[in-house]
Amino acid sequence: MLKLRTEIDIRRNERLRDAAQAQVFNDVDSAYVTLVSAVNLLRPYKAKYLKLASDTRGRISFSYRNGGASLLDYLDAEKANRDIRLAYLNLIGSYLAAAAQMNMAVGSEVLQ
């Protein structure tokens, strides 16, 4: 009777271990997908959008100073530039949160 109960406990603990292990793998996979998604969103901002917004703002600013653009055009270019920069900073925050999630899932600091 005691041997049977011990075997049942062993099987139960093995199932619990397998479930915990599957949860760890799921957490790591989820964190990895979130991290890759954040990086994929950051790339075009860093490579293209920040420079484009800054260049556009510079051109509109030059044009406004020389009478070729209205104040509304100038303010709109400033706002667009700030919006792009804010979106970029928010994406950096998302990346850092995803990196923290990955570190938590793995149990050590793999991303800094």
Judge whether residue 60 has pLDDT over 90.
Answer: yes
Judge whether residue 111 has pLDDT over 80.
Answer: no
Task: For residue 28, give the nearest of 82, 103, 91, 78 by alpha carbon.
Answer: 103
Judge whether residue 76 has pLDDT over 80.
Answer: yes
Cα(9)–Cα(17) distance, integer angstroms = 12
Query: For position 3, what pLDDT does the model report?
Result: 82
Out of 59-63, 67-71, 83-87, 105-109, which region has the weakest mean confidence (pLDDT)?
A: 105-109
Report pLDDT digits (tens) over 4-35.
Answer: 889 898 999 999 999 999 998 998 899 999 99
Query: For position 39, what pLDDT does the model report?
Result: 94
pLDDT band at 108 (very low <50, low <70, confident <90, very high): confident
Look up residue 38 and give its two tokens. Answer: 């954040």
Cα(30)–Cα(103) distance, integer angstroms = 12
CB 95 within 8 A of CB 39: yes
